[in-house]
């Protein structure tokens, strides 16, 4: 079956006060051959001129306006619900696609096995040959890492390979997989708000037999932390959401039994965060599962 018979690609871009980034992102899309491709921007309550810029310069984009910051998970889910594509390309606002990214992606899609539901491009840091991510790896201690992060793009990651999951800043997801994985809390679990939701999605996919693959010919770059959220808040969410993901997919009981040596890392870290991070001190004590306020 050819791509044309399968249906179109939907590109979903997340924004929140992204005026410094969004033009570069959308311009890189406009430089592609995007015939038959729909572009959706889901905005989380921008008040810095982002919405006005998109309406003025990119009227062809379908714009979803969320009145407040509902988190990247919920904003992305709303866009997926509105999308028509058989494949979904998720982009953060600070992602920029390389030359012929879309054409190469559509060509690659035609060659994938039916059980491949996640595609990880080669994501570089902007203005350098340093790798940002070649996919997600989940370690024995149930810690997750961006494959190749910080390494020089000098040929070490030049071949396709299986990966546990993809960094959702730039990732391709098969629509039928997303529908298969959808929970009451959405495709991406909205209780996570943002951060680690791509690990959770990948873990659920692996449990259901879906596969992920890294394709190095799909080049792009990503700045990172365009949300401008505080280090303490990101640290808190990474900690909290990691344990949410473990509890959902591996169970805390199984985690403590099978990887107890990881406690030599986790316990000191937990103590440090409770001592230094205000979100840990306040929100962990007061807030129910998933109820994040910002």
For residues 186 and 81, what is the distance between their CA atoms, to the nearest angstrom?
Answer: 10
For residues 49 and 54, what is the distance between their CA atoms, to the nearest angstrom?
Answer: 9
pLDDT band at 149 (very low <50, low <70, confident <90, very high): very high
pLDDT value at residue 163: 98
Sign of CA dihedral 280, 286, 287, 289: positive
For residues 167 and 30, what is the distance between their CA atoms, to the nearest angstrom?
Answer: 23
pLDDT value at residue 5: 43
Per-residue model confidence as pLDDT tens digits over 44-65: 999 999 999 999 999 999 999 9
Given a cut of 80, whether residue 224 has pLDDT beyond it is no
**Which of 38, 31, 42 has the alpha carbon at shortest distance from 9?**
38
Per-residue model confidence as pLDDT tens digits over 92-107: 999 999 999 999 999 9
CA dihedral 71, 206, 242, 197 (to 10 degrees): -10
CB–CB of 37/12 below 8 Å? no
Write out the two tokens for 174: 């098969």
Domains of the chain: 3-222 (3.90.550.10), 231-286 (no CATH)
Q: Which residues contact 230 (CB under 8 A, 6 or more apart)?
A: none
Q: Which residues contact 161 (CB under 8 A, 6 or more apart)?
A: 135, 213, 214
Concatenated DSSP letters for 167-180? Answer: -TTEEEEEHHHHHH
Q: Which residues of 75-111 are buried (b: 16+ CB within 10 A; e: fewer)?
A: bbbbbbeebebbbbbbbbbbbbbbeebbebbbebbee
Comparison of pLDDT for 21 and 272, the residue scoring more? 21
Write out the two tokens for 267: 């316990």
**Phi and psi at residue 124, to the nearest 5°:** -105, 155
Comparison of pLDDT for 181 and 138, the residue scoring more? 181
pLDDT value at residue 240: 86
pLDDT value at residue 3: 42
């Amino acid at each position: 079956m050819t791509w044309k018979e399968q249906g179109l690609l939907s590109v979903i871009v997340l924004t929140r006060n992204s005026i410094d980034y969004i033009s570069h992102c959308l311009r890189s899309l406009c430089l592609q051959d995007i015939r038959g491709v729909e572009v959706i921007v889901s905005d989380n309550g921008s008040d810095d001129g982002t919405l006005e810029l998109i309406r003025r310069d990119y009227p062809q984009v379908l714009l979803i306006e969320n009145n407040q910051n509902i988190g990247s998970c919920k904003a992305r889910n709303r866009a997926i619900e509105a999308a028509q594509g058989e494949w979904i390309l998720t982009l953060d606002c600070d992602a920029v696609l390389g030359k012929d990214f879309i054409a190469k992606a559509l060509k690659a899609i035609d060659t994938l096995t039916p059980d491949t539901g996640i595609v990880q491009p080669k994501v570089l840091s902007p203005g350098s040959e340093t790798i940002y991510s070649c996919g997600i790896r989940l370690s024995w201690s149930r810690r997750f890492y961006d494959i190749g992060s910080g390494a020089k793009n000098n040929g070490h990651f030049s071949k396709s390979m299986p990966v546990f999951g993809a960094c959702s800043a730039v990732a391709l997801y098969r629509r039928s997989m997303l529908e298969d994985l959808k929970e009451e809390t959405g495709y991406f679990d909205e209780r996570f708000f943002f951060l680690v939701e791509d690990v959770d999605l990948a873990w659920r996919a692996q449990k259901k037999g879906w596969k992920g693959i890294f394709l190095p010919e799909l080049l792009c770059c990503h700045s990172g932390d365009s949300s401008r959220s505080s280090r303490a808040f990101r640290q808190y969410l990474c900690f909290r959401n990691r344990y949410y993901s473990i509890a959902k997919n591996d169970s805390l009981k199984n985690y403590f039994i099978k990887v107890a040596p990881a406690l030599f890392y986790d316990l000191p870290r937990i103590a440090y965060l409770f001592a230094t991070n205000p979100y840990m001190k306040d929100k962990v004590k007061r807030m129910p599962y998933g109820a994040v306020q910002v």
